Structure 1
Amino acid sequence: MTMTAPVSTATHPLSRLSAEEFTAIRGIVADAGLVGERTKFVYVGLAEPHKDVVLAWQPGDPIERRARVLLLDRATGTGADLTVSLSTGQVESSTPIDALVDGQVPILDAEFEAIEPILAADERWVTAMTKRGLDVANVRSVPLSAGSYFPDEFGSRVVRVLGFHQADAADLPWAHPVDGVVAFVDVTRGVAIDVQDHVDLPVPAERAELTPDVVRDLKPIEITQPEGRSFTVTDDVVRWAGWEVRVGFDAREGLTLNQLSIDGRSVIHRASISEMVVPYADPSPVRFWQNYFDTGEYLFARYTNSLELGCDCLGEIHYFDGVLADEDGNPRTIRNAICLHEEDYGVGWKHTDMFNGMVETRRSRRLVISFFTTIGNYDYGFYWYLYTDGTIALESKATGIVFTSAYRGEEHPFATEIAPGLGAPFHQHLFSARLDMAVDGVANTVHEVDAVRLPVSPTNPYGNAFTRKLTPLTTEKTAARTTDATVGRTWHIVNPSVTNRLGQPVGYALHPENGPTLLADESSSVHKRATFSTKSLWVTAYDPAERYPAGDFVNQHPGDGGLPAFVADDAPVENADVVLWHTFGLTHFPRPEDWPVMPTDYAGFTLKPVGFFDKNPALGVPTSSSSHCATETGHCS
């Protein structure tokens, strides 16, 4: 047996896996005899070292390099969870995945691609299409994650399939849902285990044309930076306006931010979108099971777009290519996967004073780090923003094409009619941001901060007083919280051992957007599987094994994985190394204006410094000097 020689191109413990490393990982796994004729590599990612190791590392120190690898034997449907050492060239561990207990590894593209031929050969599916006057060759079979519902499916790799008619190559099939029919397919055996034809509904006929009724007369906008960029990039480390961050990329989480600091002071050790779930509200027998975990079930960063200047990003752009493993374990490069640029963000601060004649204005700008991914019908952009005043923000942009159904009328109040006979079921997009905090160090405490109305009293005789209430979140179970817009609830992450010049503990405040959490009933399967989305905030003690809020293996998992298990020991989280998990997102009641392509909808959150600085850090922003400034000096000041 030929052994693959140890190889690593890493210059830092958190360096992204390179193409050479992906090739070496595949070789190590093959050399260990773990790659058979039908073995597929489902996931290959960096097994990040413990935070303590990363923080203690200095340039020149040795780097232990490991990867996590998920394999699937397509012949048997069994999965394995491997730890591979690039430093020694060995498979350090290989753990079989118990599908009944652990769930299944994510769904492969190869499994999706096999669905249409399977159903085209199934008499029940063909009969259902023929009954509706459709040629099965013109029906696109859309395979979707099955969830966890029926005991006879437990332990098998199953997807559920809905059909969409496509009249010709240019036709958008989403306009023509073949509603009333659903197929259950065992992707390991390659057979449909059931085809259910519940109701014969008319197939919407109107095509989805993107030809506008009115062409808007808009002149071009040009973004120029005549002196070039203000940021630098060295070995994936970005430096800009006092900020420093290492950019990461993972097949499951997509873009990650590592060791985020400002002015040499740490704020976040690692930030990512660690899960998302899209639960649908239609209770019909055809659709009640629709709830997709795009991160854990599909590994949504596999579908990252190659971004284009002038379309996806404007200005002076730096691109990062993304390197992932394909399903055979070989490196696959996504060109321009991540976009980095800076942009103007309006007035940062301004004052015109009546006493000393001061007239000062400074414009704000932000650094933008983003990527876009397409999962089936929806397109998602994730934009991290760093601002000159020390603010950090995440914005999710949802666009693409809404998932459609036949519109059943007002007696079925779970969808909107968006075109003649075409429905769009109500649904949510709920994301979990994993924020491994390190506010001026790793010993942090989270306070829940509420505005408090005060009654009329001897100390408040005119009733105008109000104050705030700070409640420390001391244990993991008590730190599972929900937003409350009526009291302006925020959460402050402070470092009690570090104070500013006023003696206040330094901190950052998490400002949520106050959207609904999961709306499904507590008894539902999706509630059990997506418990993370039932709370706006969770706080856990740092554990490098706790990466995903719905658990490691989400596909067909029975539930109670992830955060419910993480907080079971109710560990203390006061003055501790803490991780915040923040649920945010959209509750979407589609509109006719969302068809045929959805205008971008936005969701996100903001982290603002609270006592982290001694004064406004944006004082250091220079005055603008431009021919467009309407002043005698040409300076906007």
Structure 2
Amino acid sequence: MTGHPHPLDPATAGEYLAGRRIMVAAGLLADPVRFAYYGLEEPSKEEVLAGASQPGAADRRLRAFLLNLKTGESADVVVSLTQGSVVSARVIDTAAEGQLPIVDSEFHLVEEIVAADPQWQAAMARRGLTDMSKIRICPITAGAYRAPAEDDARRMVRVLAFLQEGEHDLAWAHPVDGVTAHVDLIEKKVLRVTDEFVLPVPRESGDYDDPAVRGPERAGLRPVEITQPEGPSFTVDGGLLRWQDWSLRVGFDAREGLTLHQIELAGRPVIYRASVPEMVVPYGDPRFRYWQAYFDTGEYLVGKWVNSLELGCDCLGEITYLDAVICGETGEPREVRNAICIHEEDFGILWKHTDIFNGSAQSRRQRRLVVSFFTTVGNYDYGFYWYFYLDGTIECEVKMTGVVFTAGHPGGEYPYSTEVAPGLGAPVHQHLFSARLDMSVDGQANAVEEVDVHGLPVGPDNPFGNAIAQTVTRLTSEASAARPGDASRGRVWRVVSTERTNRFGRPTAFTLCPQPHPALLAHPDSPLAARAGFATRALWVTRYDPAQRYPAGDFVNQSPGGGLPAYAAADRDIDGQDIVVWHTFGPTHVVRTEDWPVMPVARTGFMLRPTGFFDRNPTLNVPAPPGHCHAG
């Protein structure tokens, strides 16, 4: 370690090594113990706000999930770098709480186990496939399905197969359907092979690098250059980012990816911490792959697979990059260069008016600050973008691309899948993200109001039937604040300060504006709904608790359930309290033929817009662009 970082700054390589030495000295890392997760244990909000934000003032801690690859014993460990000691080490009851995330060596182990298994070899031979070197093994988290019951007590993966004929062949184009292997990762054996049906392996190439597949390259696309001759308008000092009236701290975590802290606008607090700490991708084909549902954050760690971004490929303009430090299963750190991209970009018209009375003609350009990263989790690639606008709006956007997960298509009008190539199907699925917004609108005392708009019946106060009204419902307890979205009512949620008002005497606020997408479509009684309970509602509001960090619980892999439904069951008071707002968002993806063989970016997200936070338009002082954009 060099110097004293801010307590919310990500852990450095030196800190990870120091924490590892503490665990070695305590006897916690005897072979074959591996790290399933390793990251900063942030100090509590109370500690930071009480003055621990000064460098070196807070106890610097790391948290590790440790897995014994031989016995399956799992531990949740916290070490203090400041004290040089282990703070806590708890053995996890995996049957009741869930398994730790998959570690890298387990993926490689499964390939060896399955390829050597006679049942698997026989299933492949049934399909005319005898060269195991051409079979790509895809180990997938097993979920928790209560049948057979003993499976849920094991550390397991389920295996699907794809055929890759050549080095550059796209294996996703050639699923070997109807067969799966169930593998015990601790006993290191195939428990059984389920071989239900045989479909021909689709043969059409999906190699989008092949000119024969992609076609002749387009002509006529002339260069687009984005320049800022005087440099960017923002500054970065360590993890502290400032731009216009915004200030925030940028962090990064192997599990959550990008984390944002102490977001302030015009010197006033808005959000203490913002992140997207979970996502679930449930597939809707009940025929054979009923168990396909991936919690890409809790089971695989989205931050761990962060991309190193390239100027001109991933980012255009005057870019500032931040590196990330990620640890593998041995706890040894590695630096990912250019993991986080920060830049500003023009975003069209901010406001414009030509007045018919005074002759004034004015235009102003909108601009936004962008903080983003990209990660690859198996077949999908996700970009997480946070935007900060001149008018005080905050937007979170997720960009989804990559290759859709494929299966054999049985032909005909099969309702659960789209045929994207001859005999090749892409099942209907959802991408459901959970944003955790530790709100602090003008302080820690906040409340949430649900706002619906609707028409009114014709009557004495509405004789011509044109009235439009709002219904505002205060959410006062955690149980009552588990809310569905309702686009037909234009439903939004207003986070209000209970201590500060604007010049009209109304609470200062920010409004959460969702997109109109359905929540989890799995049946409420399904095992998946128990595990992904957070995704059954568009909104949850809970009292701040530093231990309640993840919407599906701490240990998601094979978990029977937990997280937000359990948090909200306490039914604590949330009116005028220190609250956390959780928002579920994301699309239901009915795959198009245009999504194959690589998917153009699809976007999803939400906005937070100031509502009475300012007394008037806060962008009146934005200068006009040079030229002839204003008169009068």
> TM (normalized to structure 1)?
0.96
Is 1:115 aligned with 2:110? yes
Query: Structure 1 residue aligned with 2:558, among 556, 559, 564?
Result: 556
What is the distance in 2 between the residues matched to 1:596 and 1:416? 13
Deviation at 1:636, TM superposition (A): 9.1
Is 1:532 aligned with 2:534? yes
What is the distance in 2 between the residues matched to 1:416 and 1:553? 33
What is the distance in 1 between the residues matched to 2:283 and 2:243? 41
CA contact (8 A) 2:362 2:630 kept: no
Q: For residue 208 of structure 1, what is the aligned residue in structure 2?
A: 206
Q: For residues 636 and 603 of structure 1, do their structure 2 counterparts lie closer, same or farther at Cα, with a shift above 3 Å needed?
A: farther
Q: Which amino acid aligns with 1:168?
A: G
What is the distance in 2 between the residues matched to 1:61 and 1:76? 39
What is the distance in 2 between the residues matched to 1:59 and 1:161? 49
Is 1:435 aligned with 2:437? yes
Deviation at 1:213, TM superposition (A): 2.9
Deviation at 1:37, TM superposition (A): 1.4
Q: 3-state SS of the aligned residue for 1:620?
A: coil
% identical aligned pairs: 55
Query: Structure 1 residue aligned with 2:15, among 13, 21, 31?
Result: 21
Q: For residue 27 of structure 2, what is the aligned residue in structure 1?
A: 33
Q: For residue 195 of structure 1, what is the aligned residue in structure 2?
A: 193
Q: Which amino acid aligns with 1:240?
A: W
* Residue pairs, 1:37-56, within 5 angstroms: 37-56=31-50
Q: 3-state SS of the aligned residue for 1:617?
A: coil
Q: For residue 65 of structure 2, what is the aligned residue in structure 1?
A: 70
CA contact (8 A) 1:362 1:636 kept: no
Matched positions, count: 623
Q: For residue 481 of structure 1, what is the aligned residue in structure 2?
A: 483
* Residue pairs, 1:607-622, within 5 angstroms: 607-622=608-623
Query: What are the superposed Cα offsets for residues 399-429 of structure 1, whole Å, 9 maximum, x if unpaired?
Result: 0000000111235321000011100011000
CA contact (8 A) 1:390 1:608 kept: yes
Q: 3-state SS of the aligned residue for 1:604?
A: strand
CA contact (8 A) 2:276 2:436 kept: yes
> TM (normalized to structure 2)?
0.97
What is the distance in 2 between the residues matched to 1:556 and 1:363? 49
Deviation at 1:244, TM superposition (A): 0.3
Q: For residue 146 of structure 1, what is the aligned residue in structure 2?
A: 142
What is the distance in 1 between the residues matched to 2:174 and 2:292? 18
Q: Which amino acid aligns with 1:476?
A: E
Query: Structure 1 residue aligned with 2:98, among 100, 103, 114?
Result: 103
CA contact (8 A) 1:425 1:590 kept: yes
Q: For residue 582 of structure 2, what is the aligned residue in structure 1?
A: 581
What is the distance in 1 between the residues matched to 2:300 and 2:84? 29
Q: Which amino acid aligns with 2:116?
A: A
What is the distance in 2 between the residues matched to 1:400 and 1:603? 15
Q: Which amino acid aligns with 1:345?
A: F
Query: Structure 1 residue aligned with 2:238, among 225, 232, 235?
Result: 235
Q: For residue 318 of structure 2, what is the aligned residue in structure 1?
A: 316
Q: Which amino acid aligns with 2:186?
A: T
Deviation at 1:160, TM superposition (A): 0.3
CA contact (8 A) 1:8 1:86 kept: no
What is the distance in 2 between the residues matched to 1:460 and 1:74? 71
CA contact (8 A) 1:433 1:583 kept: yes
Deviation at 1:503, TM superposition (A): 1.4
Q: Which amino acid aligns with 1:252?
A: R
Q: Which amino acid aligns with 1:133?
A: G
Q: For residue 298 of structure 2, what is the aligned residue in structure 1?
A: 296
Q: For residue 3 of structure 1, what is the aligned residue in structure 2?
A: none
What is the distance in 2 between the residues matched to 1:9 and 1:477? 45
Q: For residue 472 of structure 1, what is the aligned residue in structure 2?
A: 474
* Residue pairs, 1:329-348, within 5 angstroms: 329-348=331-350
Of residues 320-329 and 389-398 in structure 1, the stretch that sits farther from structure 2 once superposed is 320-329
Q: Which amino acid aligns with 2:22?
A: I
What is the distance in 1 between the residues matched to 2:56 and 2:143? 45
Q: Which runs of 5+ in 2 are unaligned?
A: none
What is the distance in 1 between the residues matched to 2:414 and 2:25? 57
CA contact (8 A) 2:7 2:55 kept: no
Of residues 146-155 and 586-595 in structure 1, the stretch that sits farther from structure 2 once superposed is 146-155
Query: Structure 1 residue aligned with 2:503, among 501, 504, 527?
Result: 501
Q: Which amino acid aligns with 2:49?
A: L
Q: Which runs of 5+ in 1 are unaligned?
A: 1-6
Deviation at 1:70, TM superposition (A): 0.6
Query: What are the superposed Cα offsets for residues 565-603 of structure 1, whole Å, 9 maximum, x if unpaired?
Result: 101110000001010110000100101100010010010
Q: For residue 263 of structure 1, what is the aligned residue in structure 2?
A: 266
Deviation at 1:605, TM superposition (A): 0.2
Q: Which amino acid aligns with 1:351?
A: H
Q: For residue 4 of structure 1, what is the aligned residue in structure 2?
A: none
Deviation at 1:326, TM superposition (A): 1.5
What is the distance in 1 between the residues matched to 2:151 and 2:359? 76
* Residue pairs, 1:156-175, within 5 angstroms: 156-175=154-173
Q: 3-state SS of the aligned residue for 1:552?
A: coil
Deviation at 1:536, TM superposition (A): 0.1
Q: For residue 59 of structure 1, what is the aligned residue in structure 2?
A: 54
Is 1:244 aligned with 2:240? no
Is 1:352 aligned with 2:350? no
Q: For residue 565 of structure 1, what is the aligned residue in structure 2?
A: 566
What is the distance in 1 between the residues matched to 2:22 and 2:390? 46
CA contact (8 A) 1:361 1:636 kept: no
Deviation at 1:189, TM superposition (A): 1.7
Q: Which amino acid aligns with 2:390?
A: T
Q: Which amino acid aligns with 2:529?
A: H
Q: For residues 345 and 303 of structure 1, do their structure 2 counterparts lie closer, same or farther at Cα, with a shift above 3 Å needed?
A: same
Q: 3-state SS of the aligned residue for 1:130?
A: helix
Q: For residues 280 and 458 of structure 1, do their structure 2 counterparts lie closer, same or farther at Cα, with a shift above 3 Å needed?
A: same
CA contact (8 A) 2:4 2:56 kept: no
Deviation at 1:10, TM superposition (A): 3.7
What is the distance in 2 between the residues matched to 1:471 and 1:184? 49
Q: Which amino acid aligns with 1:546?
A: Q
Q: 3-state SS of the aligned residue for 1:64?
A: coil
CA contact (8 A) 2:37 2:66 kept: yes
Query: Structure 2 residue aligned with 1:127, among 119, 122, 125?
Result: 122
Q: 3-state SS of the aligned residue for 2:586?
A: strand
Please report the RMSD computed on the Cα atoms of aligned residues, expressed in angstroms.
Answer: 1.3
Q: 3-state SS of the aligned residue for 1:188?
A: coil
Query: What are the superposed Cα offsets for residues 297-354 of structure 1, whole Å, 9 maximum, x if unpaired?
Result: 0111110000111111111001010112211111111111100000000000000011
Deviation at 1:8, TM superposition (A): 7.1
Is 1:179 aligned with 2:181? no
What is the distance in 2 between the residues matched to 1:61 and 1:418? 56
CA contact (8 A) 1:10 1:17 kept: no
CA contact (8 A) 2:502 2:613 kept: yes
Q: Which amino acid aligns with 2:31?
A: E
